[in-house]
Amino acid sequence: MCLGIAGQVLEVLPHSKDLARVNVFGAERTINVGLLAKDGLRPGEWVLIHVGFAIAKMTDEEARASMDFLEAMGAAFIHEITAAREDGADGEVAAPALTQRKNVS
């Protein structure tokens, strides 16, 4: 299974047109945007990121739906872990911390 995550372009880096700084759930990351070079990217646009590469542009609506889905998956996972602990499940399972996303547009 592959996982792509939405990121909002902050800037295409001036020293390399194949690199951009993006906001991913409130964290800034540098990713490779070379696969989208023919499309041209501007700050504020959304991209689908997989293993550090932007593989497609996304609309605002697609990006928001993707982020909402991932947040809901995380919440469902935490709910299941909590229920298992309350039922007396053996062993410890660490639930991941969810982060707040920032809209930088």
DSSP 9-73: EEEE-TT-TTEEEEEETTEEEEEE-GGGTTT---TT-EEEEETTEEEEEE-HHHHHHHHHHHHHH
Return the number of other C-beta atoms located less than 10 Å from residue 4's C-beta. Answer: 16
- 3-state SS assignment for residue 6: strand
Residue 101 lies in a domain: no
- Residue 97 — pLDDT band, cuts 50, 70, 90? low
Q: What is the CATH number of the domain that holds 68?
A: 2.30.30.140
Does 57 have pLDDT greater than 90? Answer: yes
> What is the model's pLDDT at position 90?
55
What value does the mean pLDDT of the chain take? 84
Residue 104 lies in a domain: no
Does 35 have pLDDT greater than 60? Answer: yes
At residue 34, what are phi and psi to the nearest 5 degrees? -55, -30
Residue 64 lies in a domain: yes
Does 51 have pLDDT greater than 80? Answer: yes
- The rounded percent of the chain whose pLDDT value lies above 70 is 81
Domain coverage including residue 21: 1-89
Give how many domains the chain has, as a whole number. 1
Residue 24 lies in a domain: yes
Does 84 have pLDDT greater than 90? Answer: no
Q: How far apart are CA 93 and CA 85, in angstroms?
A: 9
pTM over 0.85: no
Q: How far apart are CA 31 and CA 101, in angstroms?
A: 18
